[in-house]
């Protein structure tokens, strides 16, 4: 049986069918020890860093785990407790210039430290251990923890350039000290600080002037607090605003007895109370307690402990390899049940709020995911799953072929960027030209599509194109592939076009000579208007490019 991979233009790419289409995992690196976080180097797309719980920050370069560390903090990080250790890392938005990065760890006393470091000036793969500076919270250069668990751990910069810190409720069970609703405690909160201060600053940060509780409304609280009422926000992330995302904050909050939850916060909407410990998810927990303030914000999604017992938050997918069926879906996992899921996010254009739609479990497709301790994304927005046992795996579509670039040659114009063309419903490639081609003796414009595949032995390629032309004289659509052996463009199909939108298919095209050794495929869709017209507008939608392995 032949299994076919797809690359789709306009509003879909890579996968045929719905988001239930198969995904697969490919091992990226092995040999890690208790990895809990993966971070992309913002200055080198070929480098990622992995935080190991017991204190080492490892380096992945070109898909290889290096033997040397970026930073080793094993001497200062707590080595006890299943939830203590080195837990988070974030690069400064200006890292390329100031070399700053930040870590979150519990020290040997069990308290949370947020520390700033710098990398070495002449070695991008080495941090300067002597550059450590611990931030000052109140009178301490740490945040006091009550118990050994619920330490949170994630650090991440938002679209506003500020550093967000997820703090658990201090631990034990049920928030015995009611920290999450206490305005004078950092615990059980999301914090937001401005780290753009001089190296000589004694505190290490400033409180942003628009933090929500500085004016005492609805409550007087510590200035660093951004939101109340979280139990253990082990993982949170922002919908990547640089890749078509909304900049929203998505928090995966680990539950107590019954419910795991996902909270959604449109960009800049601080001051929310997510309800713990009065509520667990959308359900009563300790109704005898009074909230610090109301209203209490329910999660957009929750699942019971019959499904999983410890949520691990991931990312809103903004890459291209998985295709538009997955573009904008939020991926997450469960550490205990060893499962991976995704949900769609239906965004209200007026409020920016999200509604969760179409939840899907992907574990059956992916196979072994292990204890999912974290997710990662690379420079292209592609997704990785971090297994606490020491393996990182990349998420890929089954038999993948994907689009990497679309350009218009021969005087044409393509409206919209690559992601717009691929993933916005209803968007089509609109090209025009106003010159006469000497070769075809007719007005011509060309869409050149660069594709990439991880299928090594191609047998056939199928192409589906929908097209029309605004001139009654009509024209043609011609489909070409570049022969990698001769370097020549080979025409594989010709179709007549007119003012009515039509869909054309070129099927069972022998594809042996169209893939180079790196998996690259080049295709052209040429639109031609019949003479005597010399100016025309073409509407072209590349629906599908389907490849069949031998």
Q: In what helix (H) or strand (E) does residue 7 lie, and over which residues does it extend?
A: strand 5-7
Token code pair at residue 96: 């390329």
**Could you say which residues of the chain have pLDDT below 50?**
1-20, 411, 413-441
Nearest to 83 by CA among 339, 335, 392: 335
CATH 2.60.120.260 domain extents, the chain: 401-549
CB burial of residue 382 (10 Å; 0-12, 13-18, 19+): middle
Query: How confident is the model at residue 399, as a pLDDT?
Result: 60
Per-residue pLDDT tens digits for 214-255: 999 999 999 999 999 999 999 999 999 998 899 999 999 999
Query: How confident is the model at residue 257, as a pLDDT?
Result: 95
What Rg value do the Cα atoms of the chain yield, rounded? Answer: 26
Query: How confident is the model at residue 450, as a pLDDT?
Result: 85
Query: How confident is the model at residue 366, as a pLDDT?
Result: 95
DSSP string, 78-121: ---SSS-SEEEEEE-TTHHHH-EEEEEEEBTTS-EEEEEEEE-T
Q: Is the dihedral of CA 222, 225, 230, 235 positive or negative?
A: negative
Architecture of domain 35-397: 6 Propeller (2.120)
Q: Report which DSSP code applies to 140.
A: B
| Topology annotation, domain 401-549 | Jelly Rolls (2.60.120)
Instruction: Check if the beta carbon of residue 527 is closer than 8 Å to that of residue 410.
Output: no
In angstroms, the CA 138 to CA 79 distance is 26
Instruction: Please give the torsion angle defined by the CA atoms of residues 138, 141, 147 and 151, in that order, rounded to the nearest 10 degrees.
Output: 100
Query: How confident is the model at residue 20, as a pLDDT?
Result: 45
Query: How confident is the model at residue 439, as a pLDDT?
Result: 40
Token code pair at residue 99: 């070399």
- For 152-271, strand residue ranges (E) read 155-157, 163-166, 190-193, 225-227, 235-238, 249-253, 259-265
Q: Does the N-terminal peptide bond of residue 422 adopt cis geometry, omega within 30 degrees of 0?
A: no
Longest dimension (CA), the chain: 83
Token code pair at residue 180: 């999450």
Those residues with Cβ within 8 angstroms of residue 91's Cβ, 6 or more apart along the chain or in another chain:
39, 41, 42, 100, 101, 102, 157
Distance of CA 491 to the CA centre of its chain: 38
CATH 2.120.10.30 domain extents, the chain: 35-397
Residue 421: helix, strand or coil by DSSP? helix
In angstroms, the CA 215 to CA 212 distance is 7
Query: How confident is the model at residue 78, as a pLDDT?
Result: 96
CB burial of residue 169 (10 Å; 0-12, 13-18, 19+): buried
Q: In what helix (H) or strand (E) does residue 422 lie, and over which residues does it extend?
A: helix 418-423
């Amino acid at each position: 049986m032949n299994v076919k991979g797809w690359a789709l233009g306009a509003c879909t790419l890579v996968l045929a069918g719905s988001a239930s289409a198969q995904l697969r995992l490919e091992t990226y690196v092995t040999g890690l020890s208790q990895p809990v976080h993966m971070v992309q180097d913002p200055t080198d797309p070929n480098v990622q860093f992995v935080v190991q719980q017991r204190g080492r920050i490892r380096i992945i370069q070109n898909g290889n785990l290096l033997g040397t560390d970026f930073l080793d903090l094993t001497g200062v990080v707590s080595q006890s407790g299943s939830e203590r250790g080195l837990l988070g890392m974030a690069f400064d938005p200006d890292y390329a210039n100031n070399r700053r990065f930040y870590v979150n760890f519990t020290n040997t006393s069990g308290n949370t430290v947020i520390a700033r470091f710098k990398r070495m000036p002449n070695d991008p793969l080495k941090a300067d251990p002597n550059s450590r500076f611990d931030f000052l919270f109140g009178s301490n250069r740490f945040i006091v923890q009550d118990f050994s668990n619920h330490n949170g751990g994630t650090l991440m910069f938002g679209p506003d350039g500020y550093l967000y810190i997820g703090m658990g409720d201090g631990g034990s069970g049920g928030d015995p000290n009611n920290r999450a609703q206490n305005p004078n405690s950092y615990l059980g909160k999301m914090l937001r600080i401005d780290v753009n201060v001089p190296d000589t600053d004694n505190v290490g940060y400033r409180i942003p002037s628009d933090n929500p509780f500085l004016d005492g409304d609805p409550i007087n609280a510590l200035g660093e607090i951004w939101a109340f009422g979280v139990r253990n926000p082990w993982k949170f992330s922002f919908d990547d605003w640089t890749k078509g995302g909304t900049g929203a904050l998505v928090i995966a909050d680990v539950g107590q007895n019954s419910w795991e939850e996902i909270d959604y916060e449109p960009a800049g909407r601080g001051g929310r109370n997510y309800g713990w410990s009065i509520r667990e998810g959308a359900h009563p927990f300790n109704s005898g307690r009074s909230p610090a303030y109301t209203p209490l914000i329910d999660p957009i999604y929750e699942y019971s402990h019959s499904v999983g017992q410890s949520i691990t938050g991931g990312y809103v997918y903004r890459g291209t390899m998985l295709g538009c069926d997955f573009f904008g879906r939020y991926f997450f996992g469960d550490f205990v049940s060893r499962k991976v899921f995704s949900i769609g996010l239906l965004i209200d254009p007026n409020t920016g709020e999200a509604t969760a739609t179409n939840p899907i479990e992907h574990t059956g497709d992916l196979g072994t995911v292990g204890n999912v301790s974290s997710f990662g994304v690379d420079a292209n927005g592609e997704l990785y799953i971090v297994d606490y046992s020491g393996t990182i795996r990349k998420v890929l579509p089954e038999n993948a072929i994907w689009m990497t670039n679309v350009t218009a040659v021969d005087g044409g114009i393509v409206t919209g960027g690559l992601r717009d063309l691929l993933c916005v419903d209803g968007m089509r490639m609109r090209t025009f030209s106003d010159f006469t081609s000497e070769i075809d003796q007719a007005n011509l414009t060309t869409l050149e599509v660069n594709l990439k595949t991880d299928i090594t032995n191609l047998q056939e390629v199928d192409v589906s194109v929908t097209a029309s032309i605004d001139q009654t004289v009509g024209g043609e659509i011609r489909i070409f592939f570049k022969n990698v052996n001769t370097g020549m463009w080979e025409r594989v199909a010709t179709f007549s076009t007119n003012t009515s939108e039509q869909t054309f298919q070129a099927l069972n095209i022998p594809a042996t000579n169209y893939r180079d050794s790196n998996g690259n495929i080049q295709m052209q869709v040429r639109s031609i208007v019949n003479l005597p017209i010399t100016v025309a507008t073409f509407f072209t939608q590349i629906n599908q490019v389907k490849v069949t392995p031998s």
